[in-house]
Amino acid sequence: SNLSGNLGAEVKISGKLISYTQINPTFWIIGIMDNDGYIIEIIPGQDNESWQIKDTYLEYLVDPYSTTEYIVSVKGTVGEYQGKAQLSTVGKESSIDDYIRYHIYGEKIDRQISKANIVVAPYVVIPSIGERINFAYSYPSDSRVIVRIYSLDGRFITSLVDRYDDTGGTVIRAEDSSDWDGKDHLGQIVDPGTYLIHIEASNFLTGATSVDTAPIVVGVPN
């Protein structure tokens, strides 16, 4: 979160895309929020006058009619504007890595992981207006991974992931087919309240199992 001490440094940050403002066709300001609720603005770097998000493969990120929440990562140089940290991108649109495209299960980032872990975007989801909630999960190699939603009293609501994988890694899910739309396994929108997203990874060589849960709050429109 604290980028101000790194002025001039090249960093890579990721977070939820929460705002975008088009100053002119080639100059956008994008707001990204990290898990701690810290917001940083991203601007095109000096040689990136042709930062035309509208006409690139990233156009869907700035679709005003989309209700999908996107997690992106951005490479840039730390600067400052009116006392607040700001990131200038390095390299045109390619400096925004929307690492959630074209992967029905999300994209996998391979690394050594010893136990299952699940992280949910930290906001209330309102499925009745089409919102969906994103999550990232990681698991050890050689595992069968199952992600399910339960009510707080342990009732099964729906299953989101069931896969075998021999490499392990982290998966970020944030597109239509790879998040939770707030519906149960019958396709009905669930009642408002708190639910648990539950991951279970069982190693098919050793039989060892690890689990993790995270709360999801389902709300109603105001």
pLDDT tens digits, residue range 172-208?
A: 554 333 588 899 999 999 999 999 999 998 888 888 8
pLDDT tens digits, residue range 67-92?
A: 566 777 777 788 877 777 787 776 65
Q: Give the separation between CA 124 and CA 192, rounded to whole angstroms.
A: 10
Residue ranges of domains in the chain, CATH in brackets: 4-97 (2.40.50.140), 107-218 (2.60.40.4070)
Residue 102's region, left for phi above 0, alpha for psi from -120 to 50, else beta, is: left
Average pLDDT value over all residues in the chain: 74
Q: How far is CA 18 from CA 72, 123, 129, 131, in A?
A: 10, 12, 17, 14
- Output the six-digit token pair for 181: 């739309």
pLDDT-derived band of residue 134, with 50, 70 and 90 as boundaries?
confident
Name the pTM for this structure: 0.49
pLDDT tens digits, residue range 135-164?
A: 878 887 788 889 999 999 899 999 998 888
Ranges of beta strands (E only) in 34-165 are 39-43, 71-81, 84-89, 96-97, 107-109, 117-120, 135-139, 143-151, 156-165
Confidence (pLDDT) at 91: 60
Q: Specify which of 49-58, 80-89, 101-110 reaches the highest per-range mean pLDDT.
A: 80-89
**105: Cα within 13 Å, side-chain hemisphere:** 15
Question: Among 116, 113, 139, which Cα is nearest to 212's?
Answer: 116
